[in-house]
Structure 1
Amino acid sequence: MNHPRLLDRRLFLGAGVAAASGLLLAACTEGKPPEYLLGTGETGGFFNEFAALLARTVETAGASFRLVPRPSAGTAENLQLLRAGAVNLALALADAAAAAPEGLESVGRLYQNYFQLAVPAGSPIRAMSELKGHVVSLGPDNSGTQFTGLRILEASGLTPRDITLRPVPLTEVTGAMGRGEIQAALFAGGFPVLAVDPDSGPRGSTAIRLIDLSAEQKVLRGRFGEVYMAANIPAGVYGSAAEVGTIGVASLLLARPDVPASAVGSIVEILVARAAELIPAGALGAQYLDARSLISTSGIGLHPGAAAAYRRLHG
């Protein structure tokens, strides 16, 4: 399989993106509240689950508008859609957003995502540098996981030419490993990621083991700064006997500048006041919905509606 070109800044500037429905700003009809499209992620993933919870909470909170989740491949596609006006809001990993922040405005920082590199439990592979010559999934094409995965790969001393890159949907990862189609897969979320956990995933899921990414985290932090945080997956997750070092990257909720300040402010108030309703099952141990972390948006400036809401709430 041909290796896709390493993602670069041009991917995030939205060049050539076709917005099939044009600029989608608060589409509404008489008697129906405005609707804002929210770019999410792949089925079974953290972004998809969080977006569904947020949309439901916006409705139950009695907001004057509705959020409509719009599935996507993830961060990279979401940034394209946001810039093209095909969605009004979007979820994105902070490192990919920070790589090209032009035109982006943040509603708030949400959860920390834990990057997890898995191999079959019986695999002899013990380090990312040992993936040379193997078939590996670094997440779906056009996803933030792949963006970060390529950076992690290079931090290990490898290049995309050293592996056969085969993107596999999250819900098919363990099956692909069991059939020998891939020898390793990178994914991100809380812990465990339910779609790949043998205890909660599809029947007959392949048992997995995580690879320590502590060395790669140090390299990435040295190159790109605090957006790459040291993190750990506790013992017992996926049946592991010991804690595993990994890489933490925050997720951001972004909005187009033309989304009304009142709507963005209402979302902020919901994030603060109804945080307990917004914890995906896959976000165990990764709760970041509080005032101190919400405004830590990795250099992406706050939407005016968000900034005003934080001032009202916390002075």
Structure 2
Amino acid sequence: MAGGQNGGFFAEFAHLLAAAAASEPAFRLVPLETPGTLQNLQLMRAGRAGIGRALADALGTDLAGLAAVGRVYQTYWQLAVPLGSPIKSVAGLAGRTVSLGPAQSGTRSTALRILAAAGVRGGDFTERPLGIAATGSALVTGTVDAALFAGGVPLPIVAGSAGNKIRLIDLGAKALLLQRQYGSVYQSTSIPAGVYGNAGETRTVGVASLLLARSDLTDVVAGSLVDILVSRSADLVLPEFWGCSFWTRALITTAGVPLHPGAAATYRRWHG
């Protein structure tokens, strides 16, 4: 399974799913550490991974060879700055040093879209690519002035090194702009007060996170994965993340990506 960065949202889910599937006789699930969505798609299309996580907005229209197993979580976009930073909005990133994640990641692709929606272009700031594990400490030490990343909230690997020494910038208006340009794959959502150093609620952009499979994955394996998602959903909740649990009936809302036939048949068996 193509997962994600060590300590990040994608990778944590991959390990939980692998543990839940440990007793399956039909297959063995081995999580792979990757930069994120873009490499996950490459690995699946190259036949080096049978399944993988992906942000729905990074898929584009070329879905050849891929199918959905289910929508597993909503991912929350988080623009973080040091607690005492003078930056109050996305426009304030101009002239600053900013991390948008690893170069080969869906995180960076979406981050550039969010910034563009606010009128901030790549040449307006200095980009410093960082993995999620280095992001919290880089914000606290001033290595970067801001970081835009995605995941559950709070993201433990960021909160562990930054705690309440960082705060989030409101992105709510950008969600509406992204919806107008790219469609409903982008949703307006909110992060509650008390996350990181934020005293109040913060509006942000939400994107569905999908579990994908190669189209040639056997129906038996795809169906077994659905059985795990439905019957073992409590084992797939990341307790340290707020809002990361998923409603099993939302698993089939896959942002326009067709369900794998084996997955579709198993959902019909569960829900009629």
Instruction: Please give the TM-score of this superposition, normalised by the length of structure 2.
Output: 0.96
* d(CA) in 1 for partners of 2:109, 2:70: 21
Which amino acid is 2:15 matched to? Answer: A
| Pairing partner for 1:288 from 230, 246, 250 | 246
| Pairing partner for 1:86 from 36, 40, 48 | 48
Tell me which residue corresponds to 2:62.
100
Deviation string for 1:164-199 (max 9, x for gaps)? Answer: 1111111111221233221000111111111111xx
* d(CA) in 2 for partners of 1:114, 1:144: 14
1:161 Cα deviation from its structure 2 partner: 1.0
The answer to whether the Cα contact below 8 Å between 1:189 and 1:282 also exists between their aligned partners in 2 is: no
SS in 2 for 1:125: coil
1:282 Cα deviation from its structure 2 partner: 4.4
* d(CA) in 1 for partners of 2:237, 2:175: 26
| Pairing partner for 2:105 from 129, 133, 143 | 143
| Pairing partner for 1:258 from 216, 220, 225 | 216
| Pairing partner for 2:200 from 242, 265, 271 | 242
* d(CA) in 1 for partners of 2:165, 2:241: 21
* d(CA) in 2 for partners of 1:211, 1:284: 18
1:267 Cα deviation from its structure 2 partner: 0.5
Report the more deviating stretch, 243-252 or 275-284: 275-284
Which amino acid is 1:237 matched to? Answer: V
1:205 Cα deviation from its structure 2 partner: 5.9
* d(CA) in 1 for partners of 2:164, 2:170: 19
Pairing of 1:178-217 with structure 2 (within 5 A): 178-197=140-159, 201-202=160-161, 207-217=165-175
Report the more deviating stretch, 106-115 or 96-105: 96-105
* d(CA) in 1 for partners of 2:195, 2:261: 40
* d(CA) in 1 for partners of 2:61, 2:144: 29
SS in 1 for 2:190: strand
Tell me which residue corresponds to 2:261.
304
1:45 Cα deviation from its structure 2 partner: 0.3
1:250 Cα deviation from its structure 2 partner: 0.7
1:233 Cα deviation from its structure 2 partner: 0.6
* d(CA) in 1 for partners of 2:74, 2:240: 11
* d(CA) in 1 for partners of 2:140, 2:200: 23
Gaps of 5+ in 1: 1-37
Deviation string for 1:64-110 (max 9, x for gaps)? Answer: 31110011000011011111111111100010024533332000000
User: Are 1:73 and 2:31 counterparts?
Assistant: no
Gaps of 5+ in 2: none
* d(CA) in 1 for partners of 2:245, 2:141: 35
User: Are 1:134 and 2:96 counterparts?
Assistant: yes
The answer to whether the Cα contact below 8 Å between 1:106 and 1:303 also exists between their aligned partners in 2 is: yes
SS in 2 for 1:68: coil
SS in 1 for 2:156: coil
* d(CA) in 1 for partners of 2:241, 2:262: 27
Which amino acid is 2:18 matched to? Answer: A
Which amino acid is 2:134 matched to? Answer: E
Which amino acid is 2:115 matched to? Answer: L
User: Are 1:52 and 2:10 counterparts?
Assistant: no
* d(CA) in 1 for partners of 2:141, 2:61: 36
* d(CA) in 1 for partners of 2:271, 2:45: 30
Deviation string for 1:90-147 (max 9, x for gaps)? Answer: 1000100245333320000000000000000000000011101111011111111111
Deviation string for 1:30-51 (max 9, x for gaps)? Answer: xxxxxxxx00000110000000
* d(CA) in 1 for partners of 2:163, 2:195: 15
Q: Which has the larger radius of gyration?
A: 1
Which amino acid is 1:51 matched to? Answer: A
| Pairing partner for 2:76 from 91, 114, 119 | 114
* d(CA) in 2 for partners of 1:166, 1:227: 27
The answer to whether the Cα contact below 8 Å between 2:164 and 2:197 also exists between their aligned partners in 1 is: no
Q: Give the length in aligned residue pairs.
A: 272
The answer to whether the Cα contact below 8 Å between 1:271 and 1:289 also exists between their aligned partners in 2 is: no
Instruction: Please give the TM-score of this superposition, normalised by the length of structure 1.
Output: 0.83
Percent of aligned positions with the same letter in both sequences?
50
Which amino acid is 2:165 matched to? Answer: A
1:311 Cα deviation from its structure 2 partner: 1.2
